[in-house]
Amino acid sequence: MRRSHTIENWDAEDVAAWESGGKDIARRNLIWSVVAEHVGFSVWSLWSVMVLFMPSDVYGISAGDKFLIGAVATLTGAVLRFPYTMATTRFGGRNWTIFSAVVLLVPVSATIVLLANPGQPLWMYLVCAALTGLGGGNFASSMTNINAFYPQRLKGWALGLNAGGGNLGVPAVQLLGLLVLALVGDTEPYWVCAFYLVALVVAGIGAALFMDNLDGPGVDMSAMRAAVADKNTWVIALLYIGTFGSFIGFSFAFAQLLVINFKADGQSAGDAALHAASIAFIGPLLGSISRVYGGKLADRIGGSVVTLGVFVGMIGAAALLIVGNGSLTVSVIAFIVLFVLSGMGNGSVYKIIPSVFDAASRSLPLDEAGRSDYSRSMSGAVIGIAGAVGGLGGVGINLVLRQSYQSGDAGSGVWAFTVFAVFYLIAALVTWRAYVATPAATSGGDEQALASEPATSGTIAS
């Protein structure tokens, strides 16, 4: 018998309903949300791998052009998160997941055509990279959707798992690229794209069969306007630039930085690409895994505390890059640390979001259902806005690195690493001031203000 894929009157905070079947529904939707977001992230990151298959003497694309291709893909993926945030409310979480998976067949197919015909003008590669940015938009719709399925006490874990599983799409496509490079060299990249043509079809069918639409309040233009007017939105967005912006920016750039270093050591373009691919996936892989644990740790001790610790560690890692510039070993270690910490920060920052607006809802003259609707819609809106603004941090990283390598000493990224360290210092100070030292100064406070409250339904346990 066919079942309805629309659920009415969903209340994740109802403990009895949750234990009697609600958690199974939420888990099923979470699983296929992770699958679709994972493939979407892989497509978004596709060109970070494809540039390894593009020798400059064949394709006429310079190292600077490759950073630009990564920046364009990152930019469109970030900007599209604004409309994608509202898409699940307008079209339904299940329906939008199906569409957002199937539409990615277009840029993947276009990538195959471009790579099969070298010598095309740069703008064609940029347009194709921009279309892969549709996969970056999937993050916002997926996170907003899963945020609605889970109770406050489990949001850190659920959002961390959803985002971490999606982030794993970055190392996954890099590992697949490494496998293809090792087996057939840099002449047949089509196998990478062919795999994702199949994976997108599987994700779309799985979403159609197993996911659900929630009928109820969600993220609409009124929620977006209210979120834009709330100062917490922009504080959180700034923090997310430093965490997710670093993760996605370094994910696109790390392989190219390694290629530059290997070429400086006298390796051929093919050997440099293979050796870079054999290392580059490790950073995004560890960053994706650490995101889950960052969210889980934030559930226990508070998102703001974890976020502050993350930024302090990232300052140290950026300083290590500056001091150890020229040493491949030191650079790899420092970047791995940055990936792990940025992943943890991704999870902890997203724990702050529902905490802040759940606390804010308690000061409003609303009943319990009204407070729940307010928290849900505002959290969803801020998830989308912060995700979009945070993604722009990845654009900045690629552009700053491009400028640093073009204007500085040959093969030097010291200027870029200095910029990153200064930004992480600013983010640490903002975290301390806004959510650790004076949580009462926010509109409703951070989870620290709620830490002494019991872990009951509708209350955040930190």
CATH number of 346's domain: 1.20.1250.20
Token digits for 435?
A: 């959510």
Higher pLDDT among residues 302 and 35, named by residue: 35
In a domain, 232, yes or no: yes
- Burial group, residue 220, by CB count within 10 angstroms (0-12, 13-18, 19+): middle
In a domain, 360, yes or no: yes
The answer on 164 and 96 residing in a single domain is: yes
In a domain, 114, yes or no: yes
- State the pLDDT at residue 3: 62
Q: What is the pLDDT of residues 300-341, one digit of tens each?
A: 888 899 999 999 999 999 999 998 876 888 889 999 999 999
- State the pLDDT at residue 218: 66
Number of domains in the chain: 2
The answer on 255 and 196 residing in a single domain is: no
The answer on 413 and 398 residing in a single domain is: yes
Average pLDDT, the chain: 84
Domain limit, last residue, from 184, 199, 219: 219
Residue 311 · residue 427 · CB < 8 Å: yes
Q: What is the pLDDT of residues 423-462, one digit of tens each?
A: 999 999 999 998 888 654 343 334 443 333 223 233 222 2
250 pLDDT above the threshold of 70: yes
The answer on 118 and 37 residing in a single domain is: yes
The answer on 391 and 262 residing in a single domain is: yes
The answer on 127 and 19 residing in a single domain is: yes
The answer on 250 and 377 residing in a single domain is: yes
In a domain, 175, yes or no: yes
In a domain, 456, yes or no: no
The answer on 95 and 205 residing in a single domain is: yes
Domain limit, last residue, from 159, 191, 219: 219
The answer on 357 and 367 residing in a single domain is: yes
Structural domain containing residue 267: 220-435
Q: Where are the alpha helices (DSSP H) in 265-367?
A: 269-280, 282-301, 303-323, 328-361
Domain limit, last residue, from 178, 198, 219: 219
The answer on 214 and 225 residing in a single domain is: no
Q: What is the pLDDT of residues 186-235, one digit of tens each?
A: 778 888 999 999 999 999 999 999 999 998 666 667 778 888 888 889 99
Identify the residue whose tokens are 């790579």: 115
281 pLDDT above the threshold of 70: yes
CA end-to-end distance (rounded Å), the chain: 43
In a domain, 132, yes or no: yes
In a domain, 290, yes or no: yes
- State the pLDDT at residue 440: 45
Mean pLDDT of 9-23: 90
The answer on 78 and 181 residing in a single domain is: yes
In a domain, 2, yes or no: no
The answer on 208 and 68 residing in a single domain is: yes
Q: At what angle do helices 81-91 and 221-229 cross, to 10 degrees?
A: 140
> Residue 8's beta-bridge partner residues?
215
408 pLDDT above the threshold of 70: no
